Structure 1
Amino acid sequence: MSAVLDTTTFLSVFITLLVIMDPPGAVPVFLALTGTLTHKQRVVAARRAALVALGVITAFALFGQSILGYLHISLPALQGAGGLLLLIVALDLLMGEESEQQADVGVNVALVPLGTPLLAGPGAIVAVMLAAQAADDGSEILAVGLALASALAVVFLALRFASVVHRVLKDSGVVLLTRIAGLLLSAIAVQMIADSVTAFVRMAQG
């Protein structure tokens, strides 16, 4: 097997993941969920979110079909569950209840909902699973792995320097951004649920 990097596969997977994960769009959500944390805690949360997403997506790329098949879970069901979880978080942001949660869980917001399902959501998981299954040789497998790592590196950098945005906006600006993030996150959640329902209908008709 060739160990030379397949640049076409790399660019395809890398760009796809960047579009799905949307690093700029994740910044306001990150600020909303980590508003009461210190700068050092935010850096830890950003790193942990990227690593959690890396671990979850890698696990599904390697064992996803087996895991879902063993548990009798379909991809639409996974997508719907992720949408419901994001909707709960979005409602908390819109109603201003995130501060109490932050105080309780600290940087663990990096695990849920940042690491998953926001970053390692059904879209990113399916994209990498399909790319890994389509890989024919070592160069393509290497390209998929490096594309995933590179995309999450970009996400980490975006979250890592979110504190700069926080300093510019001040607390009042972050509160406004929190409400906007809640609205956007609720829209993402509803879209995920709608896509899940659509997929279930197609499965029933097929």
Structure 2
Amino acid sequence: MNDIVHVRLFTEVFITLFVIMDPPGTVPIFLGLTGAMTHKQRSHAARTAIFVAAGVIVSFALFGQQLLSYMHISLPALQASGGLLLLLIAMELLTGKMEEPQPGTKGVNVAMVPLGTPLLAGPGAIVASMLFVQRADGSSRDWLAIVLAFVLVCVCLWAAMRFANIVHRILGESGTLLVARIAGLLLAAIAVQLVADAVTAFVQAA
């Protein structure tokens, strides 16, 4: 098995991305963002979010370092911008603005931003994927390990969001609203932590 796939690298990539992208933790936030959607719209949003997140992470993993260097953007700056964007989304969840109807655009926008990015494909996942690609020695077993681990994490994310439909039916509208407020609070804390870590990195680099 290790001759075909680098098992240790596969394990490291899977555990790291699973912890950072946190499939179980996306359930309450997904419910909060898609509480006003139908079952079909919610399923479509889940699929779209996965494809967007995968596209963003793969693009940064392959070309991110060159892009950031060309634009003179540091990794802490990327992390801080993602934190600020998440903080704006958290405020909308806490104030109920996310549930306001926006016919024709709501489902698509929510699936792309903030679900696809920066919630799933956030600064942590982007930086981690860039580092793992840099570690790969170019052998097929290393690349296969990275790809398989990433695909497995995406499958876990999709399963978590699909399971959210069942949670929504159990909780009902009132329960979903409560979960949305709690998710907003947690998301705000995550956003503040991202910004704080970025500021710390800036200070240490100064």
- For the aligned pair, the TM-score class normalised by the smaller chain equals over 0.9
CA distance in 1, matches of 2:162, 2:100: 23
Q: TM-score, normalised by structure 1?
A: 0.95
The match for 2:142 is 140
The match for 2:116 is 115
The match for 2:107 is 106
**SS of corresponding position for 2:100:** helix
Q: What runs of 5+ residues in structure 2 fail to find an aligned partner?
A: none
The match for 1:170 is 172
**SS of corresponding position for 1:63:** helix
- Does structure 2 conserve the Cα–Cα contact (< 8 Å) formed by 1:34 and 1:102? no
Q: TM-score, normalised by structure 2?
A: 0.95
The match for 2:41 is 41
Code of the aligned partner of 1:86: L
- Does structure 2 conserve the Cα–Cα contact (< 8 Å) formed by 1:34 and 1:107? no
Q: Which runs of 4+ in 1 moved over 6 A?
A: none
CA distance in 2, matches of 1:12, 1:3: 17
Code of the aligned partner of 1:190: V
RMSD: 1.4
Segment of structure 1 superposing worse, 98-107 or 146-155: 98-107
CA distance in 1, matches of 2:171, 2:108: 21
The match for 2:127 is 126
CA distance in 2, matches of 1:101, 1:78: 31
> Structure 2 matches for 1:16-95, cutoff 5 A?
16-95=16-95
Code of the aligned partner of 2:57: I
**SS of corresponding position for 2:59:** helix
CA distance in 2, matches of 1:171, 1:61: 39
Superposed displacement of residue 141, structure 1: 1.3
The match for 1:202 is 204
CA distance in 1, matches of 2:101, 2:78: 25
Shift of the 102–186 alpha-carbon distance from structure 1 to 2, 3 Å rule, reads: farther
Superposed displacement of residue 3, structure 1: 7.6
CA distance in 1, matches of 2:202, 2:102: 35
Superposed displacement of residue 146, structure 1: 1.3
Superimposed CA distance per residue, residues 101-148 of structure 1 (whole angstroms, 9 cap, x where no aligned partner)? 654422321101111111111111111111111011221111111111
Superposed displacement of residue 24, structure 1: 1.1
The match for 1:13 is 13
Code of the aligned partner of 1:173: G
Superposed displacement of residue 59, structure 1: 0.5
Code of the aligned partner of 2:179: L
